[in-house]
Chains A and B, each alone.
Chain A
Amino acid sequence: MYEEEIRALSVKLLDEVEGVIGYSWGTLPFRARPFLCQKKEDVTHLVFNHFCGSNLARYLLSGELKEKKIAILAKACDARAITVLIREGQVKRENLVIVGIPCYGMVDRKKLEERFGPLQPQDFEWHLDSLTFKGENLSIGPFLEATCQRCLHPNPPLYDHLIGQEVTYIPRKRWNNDALTKLDMVSREERWAFFAGEFEKCIRCYACRNSCPLCYCKECFAEMQRPYWLSGAATPSENLFFHVGRSLHMAGRCVECGACERACPVDIPIALLPCKVEELIRGNFDFEAGIDPDKEPPLLTYRENDPGEFIR
């Protein structure tokens, strides 16, 4: 999708930037991957499709690129993460050329496998909001990643150039398949049982945290020695503590991109926790992370005349 446009623009941008962070096809079928394009002859590797889940904002934090002028392809959630990083002083706006890209959602390989068995790339054709499997046209909704099915912002809120046309529907409404709503509907006991089972599986590899574009602390509370917040032993209760702690650190910062969930090697739908916190903030404070760069994040703000007594 949009390849011509992306490549033509990248050729132009490479005159003024050190590199363009985008996606190329991966080494295995149904995978695209982050790609740093630094030479004009390499722009032909740049692609965009339903397998470009990785949040590229993560790459702005690596020391190498931090001080350089860089162009970056940004889906809505990447652009939101970039907005938060700018607000938090982690990257400089003037160093970035943001190439916004309206996003129809990313496809979850596992959902394809469940439905179609062993996958052959030649059996599929991909369109913006549908796919063709051996000639049959199907809506893309059921095959999207859980965080994409509940997405509220398919269009990037911040960009210098926009590729393609804006998405004209709200995915969450259209696909009507919000994993969080389902979890909200069950009883407290069932919900507890669900999370207890998931935390049993967690091996505390921290891949969720390490792939999050906004978990950039040099020293994370999870591994601190003084104070010693939690044990390194991956027991269900310590795992719960880690994930609840992390979700609270993400409150009003998490952009609901699903990077954590995508990285988890044992398939824990871990984005549910920070996403739930964002849902509460949306309801209580009318705030969404990374949408409006000028709006003050409610949980990162202190006012002497705060109406809440416990804060003063």
Chain B
Amino acid sequence: MAKKLVTPEVFRKKVADQSDLFLITERAQGVYHEFLPQGLRVIKTPKELIFPEWEGVYRFSFQDRSWKVWEIETGDFSPRFLFLLPCEARAVIEVLDGNFLQKDYIDKNYWQRRKNLHLIVLGCYTIPKTCFCSLVGGNPLWRDGRSLFVLPFQGELYVENDETMLFGEGKSVDAREEETLATREEELKASLPPPLPSDFPQKLYAHFDEGIWKDLSWRCINCGACTFLCPTCYCFDLSVEGRLRGLTLKTWDSCMFPRFTLHASSHNPRPTGKERVRQRVMHKFSYLPLREGYYGCVGCGICREICPVNWDIRETVERMAKYLG
């Protein structure tokens, strides 16, 4: 793995010179603004680049007494580089890729967008109050070992995996520096709150019917804001627009909405907030870890930040963990 040190001046200049290649998430911008030039395109959540709020899936029309259907293909995307925080990167690499790029099914349009999107993971050197990545298997310096990784270090920027010299040649990291870095990383990890118990997903699963869910869910008004900005939430709806001519539209959807599970018969298996909130917690903290081996929550805390009524996912899982013992 190539490791080097780049001065902040060179780093800023290199980014400024190629600024149309780069995008940055709002949260990464909040942490790293002093190292970056102004004017980069800022996005709310990484998912909007690869799994947009809405897109057409296919068009149809009824002509000459027969139906014609065309798939809507996303064109080619030129390579882009996205600056994002470790938790956001994990959301893309583990959860979104895990969902849309499965062994037996690849979402074509997702892959079109994803294959040319290169992630630049910015290590967190300050930890926002709302974060809890260490509870769900992450940490402020998490990276997948392949993506570019950047971290401020002794007045310079430490960079991993910059094969294409995006940030210049830099100077290579010597053995002592490498050791210092490793020690700091170990110290940092040791200072973080411990992960949830490894049997938490299993225990949660077994407590689907517990009365405590009513209490845990009361405050949430099912507004859905959290799921729209959550970097891992990937649920979508398909609706048909038009009758004899039109398109099938794919839009973000949310398990917080009553309509999410409304059957055509008008029966709704998740009739109240209790079932809906339980689903959101269960999907992220039980079903996904049991089925896929990773949590559906990366602990970024954006939902805690924006929830209008301070319904708090960290508080909820910690309370649940304590309750389940």
Give residues in A with beta carbon < 8 Å to B: 26-29, 31-36, 53-54, 58-59, 62-64, 203-207, 210-211, 218, 223, 225, 228, 231-235, 259, 262-266
Contact = CB atoms under 8 A, between A and B. Distances in A.
B259 interface: yes
A262 B53 CA distance: 21
Contact of B310 (A28, A203, A210): A28
Size bracket, chain B contacts: 35 or more
B224 A205 contact: yes
B221 interface: yes
A235 B129 CA distance: 34
A54 B223 contact: no
Contact of A210 (B130, B222, B252): B222
A207 B53 contact: no
A136 to B, nearest CB: 25
B54 A62 contact: no
Interface of B: 44, 53-54, 129-130, 214, 218-219, 221-229, 237, 239, 241, 249, 251-252, 254, 256-259, 271-273, 304, 306, 308-312, 314-315
B306 A29 contact: no
Contacts of A54: 308-309
B316 to A, nearest CB: 10
Given A263-B225, A265-B226, 14 more contacts: A27-B312, A27-B315, A28-B312, A33-B309, A36-B219, A58-B221, A205-B254, A207-B225, A210-B224, A210-B256, A232-B54, A232-B237, A235-B54, A259-B308
Given A54-B309, A234-B251, A211 B239 contact: no
A211 B54 contact: no
User: Which of A54, A58, A263, A265 is packed against the most chain B CB atoms within 10 Å?
Assistant: A265
Contacts of A203: 44, 53, 228, 252
B44 A28 contact: no
A63 B312 CA distance: 22
Contact of A232 (B130, B251, B256, B308): B251
A112 to B, nearest CB: 15
Contacts, number: 98
A123 B100 CA distance: 47
A203 B271 CA distance: 25
Nearest to A225: B239
A207 B304 contact: no
Nearest to A206: B224
B221 A210 contact: yes
B108 to A, nearest CB: 19
Contacts of B241: 228, 231-232
B240 to A, nearest CB: 8
Contacts of B222: 210
A249 to B, nearest CB: 18
Given A33-B310, A259-B308, A232 B239 contact: yes
Contacts of A32: 310
A54 B308 CA distance: 7
Contacts of B256: 210
A207 B223 contact: yes
A64 B308 contact: no
Contacts of B224: 205-207, 210
B306 A265 contact: yes
A234 B249 CA distance: 11
B201 to A, nearest CB: 23
Contacts of B221: 58-59, 210-211
B225 A205 contact: yes
Contacts of A35: 219
Contacts of B314: 27
Nearest to A218: B258
B101 to A, nearest CB: 24
Nearest to B218: A36
A36 B273 CA distance: 15
Contacts of B257: 206, 210
Contacts of A259: 308
Contacts of B225: 205, 207, 263-265
A232 to B, nearest CB: 4
Nearest to A29: B129
Contacts of B304: 27-28
Contacts of A234: 53-54, 251
A29 B194 CA distance: 23
Report the 10 A-B pairs with minimum CB-CB distance, sorted nearest first.
A207-B225, A26-B310, A33-B310, A205-B228, A207-B223, A210-B223, A263-B308, A265-B225, A233-B54, A232-B251
